[in-house]
């Protein structure tokens, strides 16, 4: 069994902290929540301290934020129906663009790996793709494929393929049709029996892990046309199949999941206040993988854990946020 060692408990937010996001270089962390502020944390020696507090960008809860791949921008999604883009061209982080268009709460925001595309999703059931050109943001697509509230958007680690998770119990994948530059749904991943709260791609982009209100985690795998396994691919499009379900581990809603791109470890944030870490078994069949729970941190927070994210640079370093108003930094040791 591995252990999670608490490195530091960061206080600064008032009320629920919805989301944390690591800077791509791993030396800074940003967090946001119901107090409508974004806090940027940085390490000084061994201690994490508040570097900046961003206010006045949003009039309601900030649900999620995302650093751009270059690390120069932060996008924040808010219940006020807007997404704000912050940059520090003036030396300080300032909100220099506000993306409007969603009818109500924006739930999630994510940058593509090139930094040229931004995705947002909302309770209005739509997913929007924005094109970024010299600090101008233009809506490239409004995708109405989900039938309910969309909870999460996440780009493929290398390609311009977008995944979204919804209250309609499905995950959907979207791609641009180069013939008419229209974005359309290329796959629907159905198996969860309640809201899918979050998802995470693995480092190859061939697999997705999703987590749900149904208390399970599911692992999905892509089968391309002509695959050796013999999975049928009608319309010559890749097919996604659920190849593993982790059930019986979580006792309440699983709000977030993150698949570490360097170690391959999966971490989950659960409504039972527990952070769990799963490791893929070494000798398992890639088409029927098995995972072992290698750590279960009871009372990781005193209330629901809302978000967990592995540091993209420091292996085993983890940040979490909770309804209990705290952000915590952990270190996973095998």
Partner 1 sequence: MGENLENINPKLYKKLDNREITAEEQDEGIADEFDAREIFDIIRNINDPEHPLTLEELNVVEHSLIEVDDKRNRVDVKFTPTIPHCSMATLIGLSIRVQLLRALPARFKVSVEISPGTHVSEAAVNKQLADKERVAAALENSMLLGVINQCLMPKD
* Residues lying near partner 1 in the complex (CB under 8 A): 16, 34, 60-61, 63, 79, 104-105, 107, 123, 149, 151, 167, 194-195, 213, 252-253, 271-272, 302-304, 323-324
Phi and psi torsions of 75, nearest 5°: -110, 135
Shortest distance, position 79 Cβ to partner 1, whole Å: 5
Q: Taken in order 3, 286, 156, 143, is the CA torsion positive or negative?
A: negative
Give me 311's structure tokens. Answer: 């540091």
Q: Which of residues 3 and 104 has its CB atom nearest to partner 1 in the complex?
A: 104
CA atoms within 13 A on the CB side of 125: 7
In angstroms, the CA 77 to CA 57 distance is 10
Shortest distance, position 324 Cβ to partner 1, whole Å: 7
Q: Which of residues 3 and 148 has its CB atom nearest to partner 1 in the complex?
A: 148
Residue 282 burial (CB count, 10 A): 6
Shortest distance, position 39 Cβ to partner 1, whole Å: 19
Q: Which of residues 68 and 108 has its CB atom nearest to partner 1 in the complex?
A: 108
Shortest distance, position 24 Cβ to partner 1, whole Å: 27
Q: Which of residues 176 and 323 has its CB atom nearest to partner 1 in the complex?
A: 323
Contact (CB, 8 A) for 32 and 64: yes
Angle at the Cα of 228 from the Cα atoms of 225 and 229, rounded to 5 degrees: 95
In angstroms, the CA 25 to CA 20 distance is 15
- Rg (C-alpha) for the chain, rounded Å, is 19
Shortest distance, position 299 Cβ to partner 1, whole Å: 10
Shortest distance, position 213 Cβ to partner 1, whole Å: 7
Give the SS3 label for residue 234. Answer: helix
């Amino acid at each position: 069994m591995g252990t999670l060692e608490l490195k530091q408990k960061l206080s600064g937010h008032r009320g629920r902290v919805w989301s944390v996001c690591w800077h791509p270089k791993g030396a800074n962390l940003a967090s946001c929540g119901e107090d409508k502020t974004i806090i940027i944390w940085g390490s000084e020696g061994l201690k994490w301290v508040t570097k900046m507090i961003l206010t006045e960008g949003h009039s309601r809860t900030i649900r999620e934020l995302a650093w751009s791949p270059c690390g120069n921008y932060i996008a924040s999604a808010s219940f006020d129906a807007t997404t704000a883009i912050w940059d520090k061209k003036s030396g300080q982080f300032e909100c220099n663009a506000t993306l409007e268009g969603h009818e109500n709460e924006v739930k999630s925001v994510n940058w593509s790996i090139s930094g040229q595309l931004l995705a947002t999703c909302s309770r209005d059931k739509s997913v929007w793709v924005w094109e970024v050109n010299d600090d101008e943001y233009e809506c490239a697509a409004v995708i109405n494929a989900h039938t309910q509230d969309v909870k999460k958007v996440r780009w493929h680690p290398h390609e311009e393929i977008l995944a979204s998770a919804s209250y309609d119990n499905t995950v959907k994948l979207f791609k641009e049709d180069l013939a008419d530059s229209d974005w359309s749904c290329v796959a629907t991943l159905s198996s969860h029996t309640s809201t899918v709260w979050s998802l995470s791609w693995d480092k190859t982009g061939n697999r997705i892990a999703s987590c749900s209100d149904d208390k399970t985690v599911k692992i999905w795998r892509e089968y391309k046309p002509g695959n050796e396994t013999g999975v049928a691919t009608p319309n010559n499009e890749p097919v996604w199949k659920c190849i593993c379900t982790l059930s019986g581990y979580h006792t309440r809603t699983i709000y977030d999941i993150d698949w570490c791109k360097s170690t391959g470890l999966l971490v989950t944030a659960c409504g039972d206040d527990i952070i769990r870490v799963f490791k893929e078994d070494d000798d398992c069949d890639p088409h029927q993988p098995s995972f072992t729970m290698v750590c279960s941190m009871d009372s990781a927070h005193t209330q629901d854990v809302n978000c967990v994210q592995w540091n993209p640079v420091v292996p085993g370093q983890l940040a979490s946020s909770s309804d209990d108003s705290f952000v915590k930094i952990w270190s996973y040791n095998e």
